[in-house]
Amino acid sequence: MKPSLLYIDDEEENLRVFKSLYRKEFNVFTGSSGFKGLEILEKEDIGLIVTDQRMPGMTGIEFLRMAKMKYPKIKSIILTAYSDFEILKEAINTVGVYCFHNKPFEPESLEQIMHNAVSLYQLETEKDIVDKEIRELNQNLELKVNERTEELHKQYEIIKKQNDEITDSIVYAKRIQKAILPPNRIIKEYLKEYFIFYKPKDVVAGDFYWIEGKGNKVLFASGDCTGHGVPGALVSVICNNALNRSVREYGLTNPGKILDKTREIVIQEFGKSDEEVQDGMDIALCCWEGNNLQYAGANNPLWIIRNGEIIETKADKQPIGKFDNLHPYTTHSFELLKGDSIYIFSDGYVDQFGGPKGKKFKANAFRKLLLSIQNKSMDEQNLIIQDVFEKWKGEIEQLDDICIIGVKF
């Protein structure tokens, strides 16, 4: 039986999207105000309240304060787009809020937190029932009751510890990932017509996108580090930092030279460990200046679409990291023509299983897809690529992180 939760938000679209996201995992009840929420609580068995903070008539905290006077065991999560530490302090001290989460939220992250909150509510409810049984049982059942109580307390501590570890991991890993990804306002300063399709397998990713300006040159890349999730994100921090150092500290702009130096720095950083570390990165790196484009790649190619044809430039078959028979990365130079489109990407999209037979999407299908949408704007291309991916994947779990960069000149 699915657990029940109540979501309060004064915007109808937010209510619709929230219910659509989580109705498979929860019985979702929604209300457009705190007053409506109190009415629903009278009728339904709710274990978790998720509420917006800033609403007309009654704020989220005011609603929770009234709700918890009558239903003290219900867990609560406050969503807000504002960084208000006084609100956070009040929510923790006066309402006992389970979690304070930013808007917009990561669907997977919020889902995990809600599952943990509901589990905690269910466990505490069960504990209350057992405690009542203890009071009612006679002395002959005392040993059995004590054993059951000890088991429940152990389960409670395990879930609480897991919840703390998961929450801490998500918060810190997300902060790390956000710190290394360039914001849209920076990207728009360098690239006028572009899209980035970035879809981590988990809340955070080993894939990342990178951009740096150097005089009249614009350097941009799509990186794919070993693993995904929190471990992949940590590797991406090291690789991203190596890219930054290669350009900022060593003043390099030639893509091949940048990858040589980046590899040197990554191997040096991982070499500090007592254990042998084989982690590293695949990457496609471009340098654009006027009508000139330079590219170098570690396992990830460059595709240029010109006059309805794909011109593929293959990458060097060696990663950024330890590898037998290391050799310098090759820099390829091109003269761009008006209307050219270029694409660099990790392997997460083409390797995704799906379709009627559950097979990989593959590079050939991706080629055909890109060629079929060349008459569309880059924003429209991005939406089509995302839609095709979701339909192909269906109910199958996402295999890997995805990072695709498209630029039209």
Which 8-state DSSP code applies to residue 53?
S
- How far is 86 from 74, CA to CA, in rounded Å? 23
Cα–Cα distances in angstroms (integers) from residue 345 to residues 195, 297, 349, 350, 351, in the given order: 12, 11, 8, 10, 12
Give me the pLDDT at residue 83, please.
Answer: 64
Tokens representing residue 141 in the block:
């059942």
Average pLDDT over residues 4-26: 93
What is the predicted pLDDT for the residue at 166? Answer: 72
What pTM, to 2 d.p., does this model score?
Answer: 0.61
pLDDT digits (tens, 9 = 90+) for 127-150: 888 888 888 777 667 777 777 888
Would you list the domain boundaries of the chain?
4-177, 181-408
Check whether 85 has a pLDDT greater than 90: no
Q: How far apart are the first and last CA of the chain?
A: 54
Q: For residue 261, is pLDDT > 70?
A: yes
The average confidence (pLDDT) of the chain is 89
Q: Are 223 and 244 in contact (CB under 8 A)?
A: no
User: Is a pLDDT exceeding 70 seen at residue 155?
Assistant: yes
Query: What does the pLDDT read at residue 128?
Result: 85
Q: Pick the more confident residue, 83 or 386.
A: 386
Q: What is the pLDDT of residue 275?
A: 67
With contact defined as beta carbons under 8 Å apart, do 304 and 340 qualify? yes
Mean pLDDT within 164-181: 73
| The pLDDT of residue 401 | 92
Radius of gyration over alpha carbons of the chain, in Å?
26
Q: Among 46-50, 136-140, 164-168, 173-177, name the most confident range.
A: 46-50
pLDDT digit string, tens, across residues 291-309: 999 999 999 999 999 999 9
Give domain 4-177's CATH architecture.
3-Layer(aba) Sandwich (3.40)
Has domain 181-408 been given CATH number 3.60.40.10?
Answer: yes
pLDDT digits (tens, 9 = 90+) for 207-246: 899 999 999 999 999 999 886 666 677 788 888 999 999 9
User: Helices in 137-222 by DSSP H: which ranges?
Assistant: 142-180, 184-190
- Residue 315 is given by DSSP the state P
**Is 90 exceeded by the pLDDT of residue 177?**
no
pLDDT at 97: 84
Least confident of 79-83, 148-152, 386-390: 79-83
Of 107, 113, 202, nearest to 162 (Cα)? 113
Whether pLDDT at 347 is above 80: yes
Q: Is 227 left (phi over 0), alpha (psi -120 to 50) or beta?
A: left
Residue 361's pLDDT is 95
pLDDT over threshold 80, residue 255: yes
**Whole-number percent of the chain with pLDDT over 90:** 59
Predicted pLDDT of residue 265:
92
pLDDT of residue 324: 84
